[in-house]
Amino acid sequence: MKEIMKCVGHQQTSQLLHNKFIVVLGDSIQRSVYKDLVLLLQKDKYLSLKQLKSKGEMSFEQDCLVEGGCLSEMHNGTEYREVRQFQSAHHLVRFYFVTRIYSHYMRSILDEFRHGLKPDVVVVNSCVWDISRYNATWLDNYKKNLHTFFGELSGILPEETLIVWNLTMPLGERINGGFLVPEIEHKVSHLRYDVIEANFYSGTLADTYGMDALDLHFQFRFSLQHRTKDGVHWNAIAHRKITSLLLQHSAQAWGVIMPLTTVEHTEVTPQKPAHGNATKPAGVRRVVRAFNYHHPPNIYFSNMGRHPSRGNYYNGYRGEFCGAYIPFGYMNPPPPPPPPCYRHVHVRSGFHHRPPHHFEPYNEPHHHHHPFVMRPRHARHHYAPYTHHRPSQYGHRGRYY
């Protein structure tokens, strides 16, 4: 069986994230999101099974363990900590392991953002631990914590920061993860349905607070062959797709035209029904790269002066939760704006264009947007954060801890 996937390569990733500070917050799946990004910044390779399974190691692909992990006690409790960081001459990527979207530990992370270096991109998810390890009736607490987290994060970070909320990926009917302790085994049978409900609330709230919601549940609902035997985690191919989706959206948000690479994966495990698990994780057996087009379709990238996501709403996943109940007045997202007008515009700069100090904004017209990302509503501009434009925050290869 063959599977064709359009991916972002090492060169595109390195150039797009040049002089950028990226923060990833979340659980073990988000850790793998961080690892795949760190790997792709250095080489065109996929994560190995060992790298996907490892946690708390001292070093991964030239990064370093800053806090927690093997520096302290390794366990599967809610107080487990792991902070990782990768730093090169022009890239800074940091990961925080969190088990709850808002807690005393999360407040300490937000304080670091408030008083320290401001991220250019924040990729965050917290769901499975929240809805399984803390309260039997999780919904009210989860919604309250989401409100608090989104509100504080919006107040701390500058408007230019790109905040992406990853919706939780599909769980299997039978699961076996680090969060699954004997005390909550009775929740396994309905946990995958709880995730769908939690995704509805978190995605809607993220959009209400002006953040971007990437619907990974929708994206991977027919890619269950890439889910591993434990019913929770995903293989290297899935994580490369996640990385590509995040980078494609970042490029569009910054008004950068980024070519994609067509990758062919062979001998992929046949797809299983939505309620089952893959019999074995699918790996990369043979990859054939074909640089077969130079201009990506407008459905992925647009040339806009303002942030493209503020112009349209993706409402694709809401139909899956039409039976969910939301208290009246609890969430009041603004009504969607009228449909944009499309017209052809001359492209001012391509992906390989490097202005001396910062990327200039594109022209104002509206084009198609990425189909699986909710769109916020204010302008963000692509800039080079390590140049003389922001000398008070960024030193040359300074230390951040």
Report the CATH number that the domain containing residue 24 is assigned in CATH. Answer: 3.40.50.1110
Provide CB contacts within 8 A for 190, sequence distance 6+: none
| Residue 307 located in a structural domain | yes
In a domain, residue 36? The reply is: yes
Calculate the dihedral angle through the C-alpha atoms of 75, 76, 78, 80, rounding to the nearest 10 degrees.
Answer: 40
- For residue 290, report the phi and psi dihedrals to the nearest 5 degrees: -135, 110
Count of structural domains within the chain: 1
64-to-18, 267, 399 alpha-carbon distances in Å: 20, 35, 13
pLDDT at position 183 is 72
Smallest Cα–Cα separation from 49: which of 272, 175, 226, 243?
Answer: 226
Q: What number of other Cβ atoms are within 10 A of residue 231's Cβ?
A: 22
Quote the CA–CA distance of 17 and 247 in Å, as a whole number. 9
Q: Is residue 274 part of a domain?
A: yes
pLDDT over 70 for what percent of the chain? 65
pLDDT per residue over 227-279, tens digit each? 999 999 999 999 999 999 999 999 999 999 988 888 887 654 444 443 444 43
224 in a structural domain: yes
Specify if 289 maps to a domain.
yes
Nearest alpha-carbon partner for 239 in 265, 259, 220, 222:
220
CA atoms of 205 and 143, how far apart (whole Å): 9
Q: Pull the structure tokens for residue 108.
A: 């300490």
CA distances from 286 to 3, 148, 211 (A): 11, 46, 37
Is residue 331 domain-resident? no
Say which range, 26-35, 72-81, 354-363, has the weakest mean pLDDT.
354-363
Question: Which tokens is 24 given?
Answer: 């990833």
- pLDDT for 264: 83
pLDDT at 370: 58
Does some domain include residue 153? yes
Domain range enclosing 149: 2-321
Residue 349 lies in a domain: no
Q: Which of 7-11, 79-83, 167-171, 173-177 has the lowest mean pLDDT?
A: 173-177
Interatomic CA distance for residues 82 and 63, integer angstroms? 13
Q: How many CA atoms lie within 13 A of 203 on its CB side?
A: 28
Q: What is the mean pLDDT of residues 25-36?
A: 98
The tokens describing 346, both together, are 């001359």
Is the predicted pLDDT of residue 142 greater than 70, yes or no? Answer: yes
Is the confidence at residue 305, as pLDDT, over 90? no
Q: Which residues pair with 287 in a beta bridge?
A: 265
**Which residues are CB-neighbours of 346 under 8 A, at least 6 positions away?**
363
